[in-house]
Amino acid sequence: MSILQVKNLHVSVDTDQGAKEILRGVDLTIRSGEIHAVMGPNGSGKSTLAYSIAGHPKYKVTDGEILLDGENVLEMSVDERARAGLFLAMQYPVEIPGVSVSNFLRTAKTAITGEAPALRTWIKDVRSAMDNLKIDATFSERNVNEGFSGGEKKRHEILQLELLKPRFAILDETDSGLDVDALKVVSEGVNRAHAASDLGVLLITHYTRILRYIKPDFVHVFVAGKIAEEGGPELADRLEAEGYDRYVKA
């Protein structure tokens, strides 16, 4: 059982007008096996929370803590956080010219586990994970995200999630830009990873649509850089019916 704690997190970014505070005191605790949905309108800071946990250098933590089983995550580099068991499925995965998917996956797996995976079982694992996500076998030889469609990029993110087996996954609007079929495939992947390894999930989304396929245990409504309301799955139903207007106008 692991635990990821975000305590009173304040985060700023540098702008032309000086530092701008985006997160204004976020508190959130996720345990292994739990699925938390963070929902909120555009600009509320949802993605900033995701990137801050992963350690993107653009986001400056000005106050608060992030702890993984009591360890100070904020003192870790980006790659150390990943090796400690944190995974960020990105909203806009970048293209990496010259690096094939197969080379990338093997290098990442080696980095995470500290030793190169046994080739025969690894190839089998990759192939079956790709089959499950309906990813064509030719993907292995393509460069990472290069020329991928929006849906292919998201499936590739979930492929990594399934192969790298982190303790906690942060899914940053993984549902955006997906048609219903792709959304189902991606959701099944998340559910498989969740069931297989007691994964803790922080699911960041603008819409309730994905929550029909991935059932959250907790729902947090994010407004203006902090959590405005928390509850169980029923809160998502209410958001679906009423939208965010109630929070934004308040």
Q: What are phi and psi of 203, to 5 degrees?
A: -100, 110
- Contacts with another protein, 176-205, as mask; x by CB under 8 A: ------------------------------
Applying CB under 8 A, the span of 9-17, 20-28, 66-74, 100-108 interacting with another protein comes to 100-108
* Interacting residues with another protein between 15 and 54 (CB under 8 A): 54
Please tell me the total number of residues recorded for the chain in this structure: 250
Nearer to another protein, 85 or 225 (CB): 85
Q: Which two tokens stand for residue 99?
A: 């690096």
**Rounded CA separation 198/4 (Å):** 13
Among the residues of the chain, which ranges form H helices?
46-54, 78-84, 101-113, 119-132, 150-164, 180-197, 233-242, 245-249
Q: Does 126 bind another protein (CB under 8 A)?
A: no
Q: How many CB atoms neighbour CB 48 within 10 A?
A: 23
CA–CA gap between residue 29 and residue 51 (Å, rounded):
17
The whole-angstrom separation of Cα 176 and Cα 68 is 28
**Binding of residue 115 to another protein (CB under 8 A):** no
> At its nearest, how many Å lie between another protein and the CB of residue 54?
5
In the bound state with another protein, the residue whose beta carbon lies nearer, of 5 and 103, is 103
| 76 binds another protein, rule: CB under 8 A | no
Residue 211: half-sphere exposure toward Cβ, Cα within 13 Å: 26
Q: Is 111 in the site for another protein (CB under 8 A)?
A: yes
Taking the complex as a whole, the smallest distance from the CB of residue 240 to another protein amounts, in Å, to 31
Q: Quick one: 146 or 188, whose CB is closer to another protein?
A: 146
With contacts defined by CB under 8 A, name the span among 33-41, 79-87, 127-135, 186-194 that binds another protein: 79-87
Q: Are strands 200-205 and 59-68 parallel, antiparallel or unpaired?
A: unpaired
State yes or no: residue 116 binds another protein (CB under 8 A): no
| CA contacts within 13 A on the Cβ side of 143 | 8
Residue 122 binds another protein, judged by CB under 8 A: no
**Footprint on this chain of another protein (rule: CB under 8 A):** 54-57, 77-79, 81-83, 87-88, 90, 93-100, 103-104, 107-108, 111-112, 143-144, 146, 160, 164
